[in-house]
């Protein structure tokens, strides 16, 4: 499989998307911010928010000095706002315990709030150019197809070993990792792989006639009508108000199912994204009494 390295690197040099967090001069902190945002949100939605974020808070200490409500407002419509809270906590730990410098080794990165196996390796690889395997859903799918001849692969610890075996030994390893991810994101996509544009000369799945996945493809998660949507609507009210709002101001945003609305509000309180004032009103975290 050694030919995969030059084929993929040549293709990446020609076809890579111009993403701002991949440009020279972007700091490790700014790479880390991009990885937090990209965890569950597409590139197109992340890009403008990331630009504003790193211009406003270019370092961990600048982020840590912001109020939690400012961070939640800046997160905007990226969704899954617990990530914003975790990013703020992560910034605080880096600022206070790591001299405002993002750690470069995977084990230390894994001790930080909000950083899991993927993000730790992504930061070590993309920010510090370490030769570590980075496996997200795109990489997992490409490797399942190219190496194992399967349509996709469930997450497993073997993924890291599979990708580690493909990594070149030299300084090209980080570029190879990002190229593998890019191939999965833009060519070897889950639903409609564009094999006619694929730079790889060999692919076990293609050679064996595209055998179907053992289990049916997961359907895209719906958003309309979910607790996530209701939480988003409640947070919108609080983002738009710099002081606490009444229960009635929140209740009116979701009249379809009052039990669902109450559940969504309770979960925002439990997550620490919203707080209740002593007179019973509601505010974004840090903007209560
Ligand atoms: S040949 Fe098709 S299935 Fe195989 S890696 Fe390329 S795009 Fe994916």
What's the rounded mean pLDDT across residues 174-184? 96
The closest residue, in CA terms, to atom 1 on ligand 1 is 195
- 184: Cβ below 6 Å to ligand 1? no
- 206: Cβ below 6 Å to ligand 1? yes
Domain boundaries, the chain: 1-17+132-169+179-220, 28-126, 227-284
User: Confidence band (pLDDT; 50, 70, 90) for 281?
Assistant: very high
Yes or no: domain 227-284 corresponds to CATH 3.90.105:
no
CA of 228 to the centre of ligand 1 (A): 34
| Level-2 CATH architecture, domain 28-126 | Orthogonal Bundle (1.10)
> Rounded to an integer, what distance in angstroms lies between the CA atom of residue 25 and that of residue 105?
20
Residues in contact with 72: Cβ distance below 8 Å, sequence separation at least 6, in sequence order:
81, 84, 85, 235, 239, 273, 284, 285
Yes or no: domain 1-17+132-169+179-220 corresponds to CATH 1.10.1670.10:
yes
Q: How does pLDDT run across 101-142, given as a tens digit for each residue?
A: 999 999 999 999 999 999 999 999 999 999 999 999 999 999
Bridge partners (DSSP) of residue 282 are 245, 276
Q: Helices (H) and strands (E) in the chain — how many of each?
A: 15, 2
Structure tokens at 81: 């706002």
What SS3 state is found at 160? helix
Q: How does pLDDT run across 65-108, given as a tens digit for each residue?
A: 999 999 999 999 899 999 999 999 999 999 999 999 999 999 99
- 106: Cβ below 6 Å to ligand 1? no
User: Confidence band (pLDDT; 50, 70, 90) for 2?
Assistant: low
Q: Which ligand 1 atom is at minimum distance from the Cα of 199?
A: 6
The closest residue, in CA terms, to atom 8 on ligand 1 is 188
What's the rounded mean pLDDT across residues 243-264? 95
> Rounded to an integer, what distance in angstroms lies between the CA atom of residue 113 and that of residue 94?
10
> Rounded to an integer, what distance in angstroms lies between the CA atom of residue 109 and that of residue 5?
28
pLDDT at 223: 85
């Amino acid at each position: 499989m050694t030919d995969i390295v030059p084929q993929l690197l040549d293709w990446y040099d020609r076809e890579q998307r111009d993403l701002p967090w991949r440009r020279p001069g972007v700091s490790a902190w700014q790479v880390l911010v991009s990885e937090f945002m990209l965890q569950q949100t597409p590139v197109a939605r992340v890009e403008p928010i990331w630009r504003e974020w790193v211009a406003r808070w270019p370092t961990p200490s600048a982020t840590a000095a912001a109020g939690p409500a400012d961070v939640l407002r800046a997160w905007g419509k990226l969704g899954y706002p617990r990530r914003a809270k975790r990013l703020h906590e992560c910034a605080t730990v880096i600022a206070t315990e790591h001299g405002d410098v993002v750690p470069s080794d995977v084990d230390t990165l894994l001790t930080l709030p909000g950083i899991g196996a993927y993000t730790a390796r992504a930061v070590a690889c993309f920010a510090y150019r370490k030769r570590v395997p980075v496996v997200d859903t795109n990489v997992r799918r490409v490797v399942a197809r190219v190496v194992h001849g399967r349509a996709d692969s469930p997450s497993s610890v073997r993924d890291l070993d599979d990708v580690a075996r493909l990594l070149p030994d030299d300084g090209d390893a980080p570029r190879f990792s990002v190229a593998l991810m890019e191939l999965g994101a833009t060519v070897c996509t889950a639903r409609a792989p564009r094999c006619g544009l694929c730079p790889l000369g060999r692919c076990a799945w293609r050679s064996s006639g595209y055998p179907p996945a053992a289990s049916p493809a997961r359907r895209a998660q719906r958003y309309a009508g979910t607790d996530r949507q209701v939480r988003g609507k409640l947070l919108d009210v609080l983002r738009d108000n710099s002081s606490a709002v009444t229960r009635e101001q929140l209740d009116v945003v979701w009249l379809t199912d009052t039990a669902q609305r109450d559940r969504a509000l309770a979960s925002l309180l439990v997550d620490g994204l919203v707080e209740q004032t002593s007179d019973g009103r509601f505010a974004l975290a840090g903007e209560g009494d």
